[in-house]
Amino acid sequence: MTFRNHQELDVTVVAVAPVGAKVEVDEGDGATGFIDQVKHPSWWDESVAPARVGDQMHVVVLDASREPPRFSALERDIDIARRLRGAGQ
């Protein structure tokens, strides 16, 4: 699967580390990405549980050129991506 910056995806957490979570794209033929801990809502809101294996979430691609691609589960990043896509970028 080829990712594009600002693309929205549904993913499932497949591994968790102190620095973030590895996720697999739902319906993505095994394609994976990474969510840095600061790009998960639990980093900013203590009432949100940290990522756990099996968690499903909606994300946006922040950097498709990295290996693995970097995603964000923050609503503000998803909102920014929507605005950028709406502006034709």
Q: What is the pLDDT of residues 22-63, one digit of tens each?
A: 999 998 788 999 999 999 999 999 999 999 999 999 999 999
Cα end-to-end distance, the chain, whole Å = 21
pTM score, two decimals? 0.92
| Residue 89: pLDDT over 60 | no
Q: Read off the tokens for 50.
A: 């940290």
In this structure, which amino acid lies at residue 60?
Answer: V
In this structure, which amino acid lies at residue 77?
Answer: D
Provide CB contacts within 8 A for 9, sequence distance 6+.
Answer: 3, 25, 26, 28, 33, 58, 59, 60, 61, 71
Judged by DSSP in three states, 70 sits in strand
Domains of the chain and any CATH numbers: 8-86 (2.40.50.140)
